[in-house]
Each structure stands twice: as C-alpha cells, then as structure tokens.
Amino acid sequence: MPVEDILASLAAVGTNENEPSLEDIMSALETEQDTMNEDEVAEIMGMMEEVLDAQMQKTEIIKQSTEQNKKRLEEEKSRRIQMEEICTRLTAVAEKAEGIVAEKAEEIGKTEHLEDKLDP
C-alpha cells in the first residue's frame, strides 16, 4: 500500500463504519517501511498520534456516559423502591380507613335501628 493510501486510511479512521482497521494500517506500514523516507514516517507518526488521541477521547466520552447512565439507573432504582414503600403505606392506610368506615357504618346502622324502636 503506497504511503498516500496509508495516510488516507489514517485520515479515515473514526469517520465512518467503513473505516480501515488499525491492524490493516499497521500491516501496510510494515510492508512499506523500507521504502518510506523520514518525512513520510514523521507524517504517518503524527497522524497515528492524532488517531490515537481521538480514540482515547472517544473512550473517555463513552466511559463518562456509562458512568452517568449507571448513576441514573441507581437513582431510578432508589425512586422505584421509595414509590413501592409509599404504595405499601398507602395500601395499609386505605385498609385501616376501610375498617374504620365499616365500623362507623355498623354503629350508624345500630343507632338508626334503636331510633326506629324508640319512635312511636
């Protein structure tokens, strides 16, 4: 692979899904290393450094995004647990209120029954 193609391949890394693999580029470099002059080597090394820096930045962005997503999931899990606890408490309150209403209804029924007996 000519030096120009190697440079073009390095420039394409990270730009699309059809990009050349770094392994392919390294293989081409090994093949062409004996025919390259110092300027070409320096240019290729500079581009490789840029590619590696870009890859490291992508990796850092992915790492940060993963950490943020993990925190959001933990917060969501905590909120879900709190909501389940609130629902459990509300269910208990509703059941207690239902029992109180039933008792009062029973008392009212007894009172009405007694009032009916007392009225001539």
pLDDT in tens, 45-97: 888 888 888 889 989 999 999 999 999 999 999 999 999 999 999 999 999 99
Inter-CA distances, 66 with 35, 42, 54, Å: 44, 36, 18
> Which of 53, 21, 32 has its CA nearest to residue 12?
21
Phi, psi of 46 (to 5 degrees): -60, -45
Q: How many domains are contained in the chain? A: 1
> Which of 30, 9, 4 has its CA nearest to residue 19?
9
- pLDDT value at residue 14: 62
* CA–CA distance, 61 with 44 (Å, rounded to integer): 26
Domain range for 10 is 3-118
> Which of 59, 21, 58 has its CA nearest to residue 10?
21
